[in-house]
Amino acid sequence: MKNTLHIAQRDLSGFFLSPIAYVVMFFYLLLAGILFTRIQFDPLRPAELRVFFNYNLWLMIIITPALSMRLMSEELRSGTVEPLMTAPVTDTAVIVGKWLGAMGFFAVMLLPTVTYVFVIMIWANPDPGPIASGYVGTLLAGGVYLAIGLLASVLTRNQVIAFIASVFIILLFTVVPFFVSRELPALAGAMAYINIFRHCEDFAKGLIDASDLLYFLTGIAMFLAFAVKALESRKWR
Amino acid sequence: MIRVERLTKWYGPVLALDRIDLNVERGRIVGFLGPNGAGKTTAIRILTGFLPAGSGRASINGHDVFSDSMAVRSSIGYLPESTPLYPEMRVDEQLHYFGKLHGLSRTQRRKRITELNDACGLTNIIRRPIGQLSKGNRQRVGLAQALVHDPPVLILDEPTVGMDPAQIASVRQFISDLGQKKTVLLSTHILPEAERTCNQVVIITGGKIVADGTPEQLKASVRSRARVRVEVKANPLAVKQALEPVEGVAGVTTTADHGWCTALIDMTQKNDENDALRERLAKTVTEHGWPLRSLGFEGGSLEEFFIEITSRQASAVA
């Protein structure tokens, strides 16, 4: 348990020491800023961040894999996985620690967007509830995205492949269900259930539904469990 | 301290380790020698729990490598082959990180890192980012990292690669000092290194252990193979008949080549009296009036033994 936190701490500080993370953060905040000023911040819209949260999920499809791609791939490529996996740490501690580290950086990256609330507050009186729940939803969706990215990162020592694979898997749980339910209406219910976007809508509305919470937590747990298994299987390949 | 029984490892269809047996007592420095691709790193990775074995048993410090991996990991310090370190971290950060993973408290880590600072010569580089260090300095950091939790067993995969001769000498001294208290298994393909630092040498080639003993024992087995070589211009049969009765000759094998005959003479006595034997052989040759091209003592170094034993294995495999 302690080791999980040590690994999380190292990987979080690893982000701050890597130029890629700053580049990703720069582009994320640039795009999020455009999103906010061009779409959300409009006199005709209610004083809230709902539209921002929805579009933000799209942005995160390419932003979070850029954060998660190096988590394990870099260790596999440089060989640092060897001292790490021969120290008394479990595979689960490595995976959960790395995911927590990435979540930490993701939260830090998200933090400057809180200023948008203050910008709205200059002209209007936004309701803090839906904004808070919107951030919870964004963090949970980011958690699933990062768990998927971490799984992809365990599977290859090549960061570019890890990036592409995680974008692809995330699309399977976000955009692809829209098309599938259009082509095969019989599957519409199932497709709506697996769609990450659908589960975020309630959070953006200000609704924290136990079924949505369960969906995200099982999603995160499932992809992290896959990543642990993938890391274990590396030994048997 | 380290016990290995019939350890076997396949990489797909390739047999990397073939029923390896190894026994290392406490306080020994063991040199694990072999040509590249012999299976040294594979064996080390299995011992450290990084790779599973196909079959066989291995234990370190009384803990089974396969069923009690965490206890094994705590009792070994491991320096992997290419010294992988996090390039973005500073030297002390890297050492603190591994100290934390081994469950050391902050005060324990501080104390230990100060000790290692002097022991591994890190004083000038302790705050430098690892990415900026030279290969030799990285190697010192890797060594310090392996020692950070003060393990009873050290496993070092090619610890002196990339170092200059002065650094090699200091690391060799350092390892010798460590051998006072700890069990050290170090792999190398540099023979003199093993000869000087180790008190047990294990030679592995083609996934098999082909020799295991003290450097003196291995050298003695080389000397027992030493022979005298004589090249004369004569009939091989006549040479054989003439040289066999000479005092001190155990046997003669001859080969003919363009009228010249090369005779390899095994000796009854191993070490001493070689000079006298050579004198007697020279006398015999001159008595027969054969033109003599060379007469010399052959074999004797651990290096030749190593090359012979590893190439023999290679040709047997081919």
pLDDT tens track for A71-110: 999 999 999 999 999 999 999 999 999 999 999 999 999 9
How many domains in chain A?
A: 1
- Contact at CB, A88 and B85, closer than 8 angstroms: no
pTM of the predicted structure, to 2 decimals: 0.84
So what's the pLDDT on residue B222? 64
- State the average pLDDT for chain B: 85
Instruction: State how far the Cα of A191 lies from the Cα of A175, in Å rounded to an integer.
Output: 10
So what's the pLDDT on residue A13? 93
pLDDT above 60 for B317: no
| Chain A (70-99) residues lying within 8 Å, Cβ to Cβ, of chain B | 78-90
Given a contact cutoff of 8 angstroms between Cβ atoms, the answer to whether A163 and A66 are in contact is: yes
Enumerate residues 6+ apart whose C-beta is below 8 A from B34.
Answer: B40, B187, B189, B203, B204, B205, B310
What percentage of chain B exceeds 70 in pLDDT?
91
Question: Regarding predicted confidence, which is higher, A134 or B121?
Answer: A134
Given a contact cutoff of 8 angstroms between Cβ atoms, the answer to whether B274 and B297 are in contact is: yes
Q: List, for residues A167-199, the tens digit of each pLDDT value.
A: 999 999 999 998 898 888 888 888 888 999 989
So what's the pLDDT on residue B214? 86
Q: List, for residues B25-37, the tens digit of each pLDDT value.
A: 888 899 988 888 8
**What are the helix (H) ranges across B78-164?**
91-101, 106-119, 135-147
pLDDT above 90 for B100: yes
Tell me which chain A residue has its CA closest to the CA of residue B65: A86
For B71, the enclosing helix (H) or strand (E) is helix B69-75
Mutation target to probe the A interface, by most A beta carbons within 10 A, among B68, B70, B100, B105 is: B100
Given a contact cutoff of 8 angstroms between Cβ atoms, the answer to whether A24 and A67 are in contact is: yes
- Mean pLDDT along residues A212-237: 91
Assigned token pair, B97: 């990180």
Range in A148-152, A209-213, B276-280 with the lowest mean pLDDT:
B276-280
Hey, how many other C-beta atoms are within 10 angstroms of the C-beta on A31? 16
- Mean pLDDT along residues B302-309: 69
So what's the pLDDT on residue A140? 96
| Chain B (237-266) residues lying within 8 Å, Cβ to Cβ, of chain A | none
Question: Regarding predicted confidence, which is higher, B132 or B282?
Answer: B132
Instruction: State how far the Cα of A86 lies from the Cα of A201, in Å rounded to an integer.
Output: 44
> What is the predicted ipTM?
0.90
What percentage of chain A exceeds 70 in pLDDT?
99
- Contact at CB, A235 and B48, closer than 8 angstroms: no
Given a contact cutoff of 8 angstroms between Cβ atoms, the answer to whether B194 and B202 are in contact is: no
- Mean pLDDT along residues B7-15: 87
What is the number of alpha carbons within 13 Å of residue B204 lying toward its C-beta?
A: 28
Helix pair angle (A128-155, A91-110), 10° resolution: 140
Mutation target to probe the B interface, by most B beta carbons within 10 A, among A3, A9, A13, A82 is: A82
Q: List, for residues B187-237, the tens digit of each pLDDT value.
A: 987 777 787 788 898 988 888 888 888 887 877 766 666 678 888 888 888
Instruction: State how far the Cα of B70 lies from the Cα of B49, in Å rounded to an integer.
Output: 9
Q: Which residues pair with B157 in a beta bridge?
A: B187
pLDDT above 70 for A63: yes
What is the number of alpha carbons within 13 Å of residue B174 lying toward its C-beta?
A: 22
pLDDT above 70 for A220: yes
Work out how many CB contacts closer than 8 A connect A with B.
63
> For residue A84, which residues of chain B lie inside 8 Å, CB to CB?
101
Q: Which domain holds residue A72?
A: 2-234
**φ/ψ of residue B59, rounded to 5:** -140, 150
E-strand ranges in B12-135 read 14-24, 29-33, 55-60, 63-64, 76-79
Q: List, for residues A115-140, the tens digit of each pLDDT value.
A: 999 988 888 888 888 999 999 999 99
- Contact at CB, B52 and A235, closer than 8 angstroms: yes
So what's the pLDDT on residue B196? 79
Confidence of residue A237 (pLDDT cuts 50, 70, 90): low
Mutation target to probe the B interface, by most B beta carbons within 10 A, among A86, A90, A91, A231 is: A86
So what's the pLDDT on residue B274? 59
So what's the pLDDT on residue B224? 60
> For residue A79, which residues of chain B lie inside 8 Å, CB to CB?
80-82, 84
Question: Regarding predicted confidence, which is higher, B105 or B273?
Answer: B105
Q: Using only C-alpha atoms, what is the Rg of chain B?
A: 25
pLDDT above 60 for B17: yes
* Identity of residue A99: W
So what's the pLDDT on residue B312? 66
Helix pair angle (A210-236, A128-155), 10° resolution: 20
Q: Using only C-alpha atoms, what is the Rg of chain A?
A: 18
> For residue B144, which residues of chain A lie inside 8 Å, CB to CB?
none
- Contact at CB, B85 and A80, closer than 8 angstroms: yes
Assigned token pair, B138: 């990285």
| DSSP 8-class letter at A235 | H
So what's the pLDDT on residue A8? 96
Sign of torsion over alpha carbons B71, B76, B82, B84: positive
